[in-house]
Amino acid sequence: MQATERLDLTFAALADPTRRAILARLATGEASVQELSEPFEMSQPAISKHLKVLERAGLISVDIDAQRRPRRLEVKRLEEAVVWIERYREIFEQNYQRLDALLEELQAKPAKRKKKKD
């Protein structure tokens, strides 16, 4: 699977709040489908659908050897996606912090502003 394809699936997987909550739970330790369904007012089949999306994106893995078939968080894959959006956001934030300073400067000089209006 190409890197961009994988990233696609990752972003789509993270776009859902239930799936993010599942990932948060798995961050504290592996869990079976039954254990994952408990906190949600959702049937096991509904949770399984979400798990399939997360598995396809490579964000969680299944231990098929254990009878419970616990799901595990694939931390590195998750970090990649979060990192990319976060770095992108930081560039905008750095720009906008400079803009904050510029706007403050522009508002602090009423004489200069009058000149600009004329």
For residue 47, give the amino acid letter: I
Indicate the residue among 46 and 82 with the shorter CB distance to other proteins: 82
Asked if residue 42 binds other proteins (CB under 8 A), the reply is: no
Contacts of 14 (CB under 8 A, 6+ apart): 20, 23, 59, 81, 82
Pick the piece of the chain touching other proteins (CB under 8 A) from 29-37, 46-54, 62-70, 82-90.
Answer: 82-90
Q: What single string gives the DSSP state of each residue in 33-61? A: HHHHHTTTTS-HHHHHHHHHHHHHTTSEE
Pick the piece of the chain touching other proteins (CB under 8 A) from 6-14, 42-50, 53-61, 62-70.
Answer: 6-14
Residue 29's region, left for phi above 0, alpha for psi from -120 to 50, else beta, is left
Asked if residue 8 binds other proteins (CB under 8 A), the reply is: yes
Residues that bind other proteins (CB under 8 A): 4, 7-8, 11-12, 15, 17, 20-21, 23-24, 27, 75, 78-79, 82-96, 98-104, 106-107
